[in-house]
Amino acid sequence: MIATPDRTPLPRDFFDRPVLEVAPDLLGRILVRTTPDGPISLRLTEVEAYDGPNDPGSHAYRGRTTRNDVMFGPPGHVYVYFTYGMWHCMNLVCGPDGTASAVLLRAGEIVEGVELARKRRLSARSDKELAKGPARLATALEVDRALDGTDACASGETPLRMLAGTAVAPDQVRNGPRTGVAGDGGNGDVRPWRFWIAADPTVSPYRAHVPRRRRS
């Protein structure tokens, strides 16, 4: 029998921990996106950890900028960035205020508002592909830079909120290299900081980093 997901909002101290503790603990949690058309809820199945100034793969590795400013703020806030000139990706800030660590939300299962997500992801061939990848996840939930800085732990009305959901048992959590991250030395990401639920069909496929070729 599948347990009913816990709808209790996650408190701020859940996020006020080291990023490598928060990331796997987010699996199975529920992200609720409130839109004018109704709510869309997503069960997280895949995430990646980024450890700020200690991590060459992090947007905050070289310090604070206008783009990454939210990462340096209080835990539990949403960091949204625009990439490749076409896609948005969503992160949750964690660790003490000023540490700039965050968890990238890579994939999940839409458990509420499936019809709304389908309207935003017309190219999805099945429901399991609606949020299979970070850009797809943001598109399905209608997340863009306008939501950068949103407090996912705030009381009252908020466009994004994290609920307790159902935590995943440790023996069902897998980890490995992050997708498409160059890592130390530019020879592929050697940090096993991508976490996912074993055998879940909504988890995105792993892709190694491909160095850009210089033009001759």
Pairing of strands 30-35, 160-165: antiparallel
Within-domain flag for 174: yes
Q: Is the dihedral of CA 37, 43, 164, 162 positive or negative?
A: negative
pLDDT at 152 over 60: yes
Give the structural domain span for 79: 6-196
Mean pLDDT of 46-63: 95
pLDDT score for 191: 93
d(CA 143, CA 56): 26
The amino acid sitting at 185 is G
d(CA 100, CA 74): 9
Within-domain flag for 205: no
* CATH number of the domain encompassing residue 191: 3.10.300.10
Within-domain flag for 45: yes
Within-domain flag for 142: yes
- The number of folded domains in the chain is 1
Q: Which stretch of 3-12, 82-91, 138-147 has the lowest confidence by average pLDDT?
A: 3-12
Within-domain flag for 159: yes
pLDDT at 164 over 90: yes
Mean pLDDT of 32-59: 96
Q: Is the pTM of this model over 0.75?
A: yes
pLDDT score for 140: 98
Summarised one tens digit per residue, pLDDT across range 173-186 is: 999 999 988 765 45
Summarised one tens digit per residue, pLDDT across range 3-35 is: 678 989 999 999 999 999 999 999 999 999 999
Within-domain flag for 204: no
pLDDT score for 186: 52
pLDDT score for 84: 85
Within-domain flag for 171: yes
Q: From the CB of residue 175, how many other CB atoms can be counted at a distance below 10 Å?
A: 16
pLDDT at 216 over 60: no
Q: Which residues contact 116 (CB under 8 A, 6 or more apart)?
A: 35, 37, 38, 40
Q: From the CB of residue 154, how many other CB atoms can be counted at a distance below 10 Å?
A: 15
d(CA 89, CA 184): 23
Within-domain flag for 201: no
Q: Is the dihedral of CA 154, 158, 162, 165 positive or negative?
A: positive
